[in-house]
Chain A
Amino acid sequence: MTTATKEYWRWKEYNWHDETMDPKGADTITAGVDIGSVSSQAVVMVNGELYAYSNMRTGSDSPDSARKAMNWALEGTGLKPDDIHYTVGTGYGRVNVPFADRAITEIACHARGGNMMYGSTVRTILDMGGQDCKAIHCDERGKVTNFLMNDKCAAGTGRGMEVFADLLNVSIEDVGDLSLAVDEEPPPVSSTCVVFAKSEASSLLREGWSTNRVLAAYCSAMAHRVVSLLERIGVEKDFAITGGIAKNSGVATRLEKELNLVSLKSKYDTQIAGALGGALFAKALVEKQRKKGG
């Protein structure tokens, strides 16, 4: 793959903090750092409220990515890494967060974060990450009751979508909108396997299909596949989608249609669910620690 074509699936990194809050001297300042295979997020929470976060690409070195994500979340806040009382590492690289006090799986963190992002009525959370797909069922406290994680197969993950974006020379951020700009919904790509779906797409293009139509067929195949994963854990209202794919309207709207459910919207950025859950776990853990310590 050349550098030029790689650009098609690049996305922008960003950070944010709440300028109306003053974190100095707060009782509990906690953090969650989610090191995914493609992107990393750091969330800083002050007294249980979201204060700052960052979203970056994961580099080849997890500890370095963790430090960078944390520093970027803290940029311009006046807080230093040492001001944080407790940090939870989560995600694929969770054991490689050098400054974390504990590692917790992304499944548990997503449920916990989802509980805050979407409210305690949320029961089913679908997280479509860069290299995996997670389906989580949780209770009113955000505790996991049923889950699965598929990181064996690229179909139904961000990576699968990247392969298609790359094949069709479309920016990953435009895939959703373009796939919805078709007059009529085409039948989904029939192969699940990304390798075989790719050859199927090439022959569809040769048959004269437009790029948008091929994207529509792939988004719909991806939605269909995710539904079969969700069926294993049982889909229940209220339902939410997190992770990078939540931002892909082409997959998200088709998924809602197939499930006949409307996913909950959140005022929070859907990509920070795991890190947010980590920061919430961190808050509970530091409070427990203080109680024990007297």
Chain B
Amino acid sequence: MTTAGIDMGAKYIKVVILKDGQVLSKAMVATGFEPAVSAQKCLEEAVQGAGVELSAVDHITSTGAGRKAAPGIHSDITDVGAAARGTTHLHQEVRTVIDVGAEEGRGIKVEADGKVVDFAVNEKCAAGAGAFAEAMSRALEVSLEDFGQLSLKSEKTIPMNAQCAVFAESEVVSLVHAKTPKHDISRAVHDAIASRIVSMVRRVGINKEVALVGGVSHNPGFVDALSRGLETQVLVPENPEYIGALGAALVAEERAKS
């Protein structure tokens, strides 16, 4: 049986093609201004990579913020459900899934089979999401990649007063004017986001192992800040940005069988 999972993220659309539980291919396309068109393109790229015809895919399940806009889908599943399912498929020992994307953050308490026990969400405010780090890297005039790396060079804890990304930008600029080293500013920014994510996750309870998924898990500065904040090393699964799509494809498999 062949299934597909589409994760309609705010910045990128991700597709995973599964055949009998094995990943055949993955694809990623920028969401852009026409998500449905980008999704179609991403899906086509993925099936091509898998060497199958789109018509041969038995069930397509979408997830992500724009999941209802995905073309040709048979069903959809929430971001929370997909992240839980995808993560536990790869790491059964995980009991807490932290999913941080460009525009939202989630803390999910899961069982070994991927069943969601509880979850908390921070959305619609850039303060607790990847967009915060992105805005600060722009204010510092460094690329997002370098920005995450930079923070690992710092051992200094500078508190940030501003909570809002817009106000924090001015704070970062004043730190620059005060000759604060960029790596210390970078750590302060990552610590600020992490502390907001940590207090959100504490509301569902933190049980080991803890996994971080979503686009922000590629940022080593954030992984470090989060691990320090949680006082436990967080695990980052392979291809963490595809976890939602993988979870959706797994759910598609179940739904196709029933």
Contact = CB atoms under 8 A, between A and B. Distances in A.
A131 B103 contact: no
B179 interface: no
Contact of B126 (A131, A159, A195, A206): A195
A163 B126 contact: no
Interface in A176-213: 191-196, 203, 206-207
Nearest to B162: A152
Nearest to A206: B33
Contacts of B163: 152-153
A17 B103 CA distance: 50
Contacts of B125: 153, 192-193
A193 B33 contact: no
Given A153-B125, A206-B33, A196 B166 contact: no
A195 B131 contact: yes
A152 B166 CA distance: 10
Contacts of A192: 124-125
A125 interface: no
A191 B125 CA distance: 9
B65 to A, nearest CB: 11
Given A196-B131, A203-B33, A206-B33, A191 B164 contact: no
A111 interface: no
Question: Of A131, A160, A206, which is in contact with the most chain B CB atoms at under 10 Å from its CB?
Answer: A131
> Among the interface residues A191, A195, A196, A203, which one has the most CB atoms of the partner chain B within 10 A?
A195
Contact of A207 (B33, B165, B167): B33
Interface in B124-170: 124-126, 131-132, 135, 163-167
A195 B165 contact: yes
Interface in B214-252: none
A196 B33 contact: no
Contacts of B165: 154, 193-195
A158 B74 CA distance: 46
A194 B33 contact: no
Nearest to B168: A154
A58 B51 CA distance: 64
Contacts of B166: 154, 159-160, 163, 194-195
Interface in B80-136: 103, 124-126, 131-132, 135
A93 to B, nearest CB: 15
Interface centre among A159, A163, A193, A203 (most CB of B within 10 A): A193
A134 B246 CA distance: 46
Given A203-B33, A207-B33, A196 B126 contact: yes
A207 B32 CA distance: 12
Contacts of A131: 167
Contact of B164 (A153, A203, A207): A153
Given A195-B126, A207-B33, A154 B103 contact: no
Given A154-B165, A203-B33, 17 more contacts: A152-B164, A153-B164, A154-B164, A159-B166, A191-B124, A192-B125, A193-B124, A193-B125, A193-B126, A193-B165, A194-B166, A195-B126, A195-B165, A195-B166, A196-B103, A196-B124, A196-B131
Q: Which 7 A-B pairs have the closest CB atoms?
A: A154-B166, A195-B126, A195-B165, A194-B166, A154-B164, A153-B164, A193-B125
